[in-house]
C-alpha cells in the first residue's frame, strides 16, 4: 500500500468511480474456534503507435497438477490478454466466467462466506466493504461503509483492512494515523454478530511498541494465534522489517516481539504479511519493493509444523519472488494480497492489487484475482499475473451471473463521425486494440442486453471529456484525462436499468480540462451485467 514520508512517497488513495465486493481467507480451523518498460505517456487515448507521434491449514487442498498453472483458466493463449478459456471476440461470454479487475481499489482482503464474496480495500478515511453473490458481478456492487472514526489520532490514512473470523465474531485489522505517516499504528474492529458486514465497533489498538507499524494481521500455527506486521528495519530507515508476537485473544498481543529476517530483492519494504496454510505448514507471504514501483512483488517464508514461530531461525526463506510483474500481459506491481477458497472448497485463489502502467505511481492500483495451484514439494505456485481483461472461469461453486463482454470492434458498437482504430496500444487495451476520436460530436453507440453496463479503456494526458447517456436520457460528463497513460480503467458504470435491450451513447464533446493536451475519447472494453 502507499506509504508517505518519512519512509515512503506520499500516499495516494486510488479514486474509484464505483465498486464491488467479494472474498474468503485461508484461516486454519483453530482460529475459527478461538475466543517494465514504461509506456510513452504521450497524447490521447489512442494506441501507442499513434501516440508515438506525439510522445490450521484445512486438510483438503488441491493436488498439484502437472502444469505450473491450472490449464482451464491460467494458460495464456495466442494473445497476452487471452486466457485459454477466452471466447472469440464478438461472442457472448458464458455465465461462469469473469474478467479483472473485480474492484478499483488497492490492498484487498477478499473472503467467501455463507454464499457471498466480501472485499475490503484501502479507502483512506473509512473502512468500506463490497458484497456480491458472484465474483462476476463484484465490480458493479456498491461500497458499504462500515466504519468511520471520530478519534483524530486514527481517522486518516486508513490502510489495508484484513478480515478474520474467530468464533461468532468478525474482526477487521487495519492501519491508521493522525495524518502523519510516522504515527501509523494498528487497530482492530469487532462485529456485533456473525455478519462480515457488521455493524462494527472499535475494539482495540494492537501491537503498539511505540513506533511505526502497519499491515498487521493474525496467523495461527500449532493452534496458537500470533500477530504479524511490518515496522521499521533496524538501521534501514524505513518499514522494512517483519515482526511477530503471540496473541492471547483476537485483539491482544502478549509478551515481546521478534523480528523475522525477510529477503526481498530490494531494501525498501517488507509489508503486507499474509498467511497461507497447507498440511501443517505455514507460509508467510509478503510484499516488497515499494507499491508505487512496477517491481512491487511477493516473496515468501515458511515454517514447519511444530516449530516455534517466535524463534526467528525457524523461518525458512524461499529464494526469489513468488509473484511478480508480467510485462507481456501489462501487469506491474502485483502485491498486497489475500487468499480465499472457491465456494465449494476445492480451489485456491489469490486476490492482489496491480497496475496497468509501469510508471512509478500509487494511483491506478486495482484488485484482481486468479486461481493458483501447488507444486509437488508442497509449496504454492502462483504462476504469472494474468492480463486485466483475460477471461477466466469463476471459482468452482460460484453461482455465476449472466455477464458478457463487448470489444470495441464488435458489431454491437457503431461509430458516427471520425474515429481511428488500431492495435498499437498492445497490452494496455482489451484484445490489444481500441477506437479513439477527438472530433467534437463524434459518437460511439453500444447496443446491449442486460441491466447494467461498464466502460473500461485507456486514460491518458491527451484525453478529453465525454458525454455518456443511456437510452437517450440525460448525459453524464466523464473526464478521460490522466497524468500518466494507463489501460483498462473503469471510466463509467451505468445506473441499474430494467432488464432488456438498451443503448449507451458516448459523445466526444471536444472539451478537455486545462491539464490535458487533447480532446480524445477511447472505446475499448464494455462489460455487460
| Domains in the chain with CATH codes | 29-207+323-392 (2.115.10.20), 404-528 (2.60.120.260)
Q: Which residue has the higher pLDDT, 187 or 90?
A: 187
Give the integer Cα–Cα distance in Å for 185 and 210: 9
Burial level of 410, CB count in 10 A (0-12/13-18/19+)? middle
Give the pLDDT of residue 402.
86
Give the integer Cα–Cα distance in Å for 7 and 211: 13
**pLDDT (tens digit per residue) in 371-394:** 999 999 999 999 999 999 999 999
**pLDDT (tens digit per residue) in 64-117:** 222 222 322 332 333 444 444 444 444 445 578 999 999 999 999 999 999 999
Q: pLDDT at residue 129 above 90? A: yes
Among 75-79, 168-172, 354-358, the range scoring the smallest mean pLDDT is: 75-79
Which residues belong to the active site? 107, 271
Q: Which residue has the higher pLDDT, 299 or 238?
A: 299
pTM for the full model? 0.84
Give the pLDDT of residue 43.
33
Q: pLDDT at residue 51 above 60? A: no
Contact 155, 183 (CB under 8 A): no
> In terms of Cα–Cα distance, which of 181, 121, 168, 169 is closest to 145?
121
Give the pLDDT of residue 258.
96
Give the integer Cα–Cα distance in Å for 304 and 313: 12
Among 16-20, 165-169, 178-182, 290-294, the range scoring the smallest mean pLDDT is: 16-20
Give the pLDDT of residue 94.
58
Among 83-92, 110-119, 311-320, 395-404, the range scoring the smallest mean pLDDT is: 83-92
Give the pLDDT of residue 15.
34
Contact 164, 170 (CB under 8 A): yes
Amino acid at each position: 500500500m502507499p506509504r508517505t514520508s518519512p519512509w515512503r512517497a506520499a500516499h495516494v488513495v486510488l479514486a474509484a468511480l464505483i465498486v464491488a465486493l467479494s472474498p474468503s481467507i485461508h484461516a486454519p480451523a483453530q482460529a475459527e474456534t478461538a475466543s517494465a518498460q514504461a509506456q510513452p505517456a504521450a497524447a490521447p487515448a489512442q494506441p501507442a503507435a499513434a501516440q508515438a507521434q506525439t510522445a490450521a491449514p484445512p486438510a483438503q487442498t488441491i493436488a498439484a497438477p502437472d502444469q505450473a498453472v491450472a490449464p482451464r483458466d491460467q494458460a495464456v493463449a495466442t494473445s497476452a490478454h487471452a486466457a485459454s478459456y477466452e471466447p472469440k471476440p464478438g461472442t457472448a461470454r458464458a455465465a461462469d466466467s469473469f474478467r479483472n479487475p473485480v474492484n478499483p481499489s488497492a490492498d484487498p482482503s477478499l473472503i467467501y462466506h455463507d454464499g457471498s464474496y466480501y472485499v475490503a480495500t484501502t479507502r483512506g478515511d473509512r473502512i468500506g466493504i463490497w458484497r456480491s453473490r458472484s465474483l462476476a458481478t463484484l465490480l458493479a456492487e456498491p461500497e458499504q461503509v462500515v466504519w468511520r472514526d471520530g478519534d483524530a489520532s486514527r481517522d486518516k490514512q486508513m490502510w489495508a483492512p484484513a478480515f478474520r473470523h474467530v468464533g461468532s465474531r468478525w474482526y477487521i485489522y487495519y492501519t491508521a494515523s493522525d495524518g502523519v505517516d510516522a504515527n501509523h499504528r494498528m487497530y482492530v474492529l469487532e462485529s456485533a454478530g456473525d455478519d462480515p458486514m457488521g455493524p462494527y465497533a472499535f475494539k482495540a489498538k494492537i501491537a503498539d511498541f511505540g513506533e511505526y507499524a502497519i499491515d498487521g494481521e493474525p496467523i495461527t500455527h500449532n493452534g496458537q494465534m500470533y500477530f504479524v506486521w511490518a515496522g521499521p528495519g533496524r538501521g534501514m530507515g524505513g518499514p522494512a522489517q517483519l515482526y511477530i508476537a503471540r496473541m492471547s485473544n483476537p485483539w491482544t498481543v502478549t509478551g515481546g516481539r521478534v523480528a523475522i529476517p525477510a529477503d526481498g530483492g530490494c531494501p525498501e519494504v517488507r509489508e503486507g504479511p499474509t498467511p497461507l496454510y497447507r498440511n501443517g505448514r505455514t507460509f508467510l507471504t509478503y510484499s516488497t519493493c515499494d507499491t508505487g514501483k512496477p517491481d512491487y512483488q511477493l516473496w515468501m517464508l515458511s515454517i514447519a509444523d511444530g516449530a516455534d514461530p517466535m524463534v526467528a531461525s525457524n523461518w525458512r526463506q524461499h529464494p526469489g519472488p513468488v509473484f511478480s510483474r508480467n510485462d507481456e500481459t501489462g501487469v506491474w506491481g502485483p502485491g498486497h494480497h489475500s487468499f480465499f477458497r472457491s465456494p465449494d472448497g476445492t480451489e485456491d485463489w489469490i486476490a492482489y492489487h496491480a497496475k496497468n502502467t509501469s510508471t512509478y505511481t500509487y494511483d491506478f492500483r486495482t484488485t484482481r484475482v486468479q486461481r493458483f495451484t501447488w507444486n509437488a514439494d508442497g509449496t504454492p505456485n502462483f504462476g504469472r499475473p494474468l492480463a486485466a481483461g483475460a477471461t477466466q472461469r469463476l471459482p468452482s461453486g460460484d453461482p455465476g451471473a449472466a455477464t458478457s463482454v463487448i470489444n470495441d470492434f464488435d458489431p454491437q458498437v457503431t461509430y458516427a463521425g471520425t474515429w481511428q482504430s488500431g492495435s498499437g496500444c498492445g497490452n494496455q487495451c482489451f484484445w490489444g486494440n481500441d477506437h479513439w476520436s477527438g472530433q467534437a460530436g463524434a459518437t460511439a453507440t453500444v447496443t446491449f442486453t442486460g441491466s447494467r453496463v461498464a466502460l473500461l479503456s485507456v486514460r491518458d494526458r491527451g484525453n478529453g471529456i465525454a458525454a455518456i447517456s443511456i437510452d437517450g436520457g440525460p448525459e453524464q460528463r466523464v473526464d478521460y484525462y490522466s497524468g500518466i497513460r494507463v489501460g483498462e480503467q473503469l471510466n463509467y458504470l451505468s445506473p441499474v436499468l430494467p432488464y432488456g435491450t438498451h443503448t449507451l451513447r458516448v459523445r466526444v464533446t471536444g472539451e478537455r480540462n486545462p491539464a490535458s493536451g487533447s480532446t480524445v475519447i477511447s472505446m475499448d472494453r464494455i462489460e455487460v451485467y
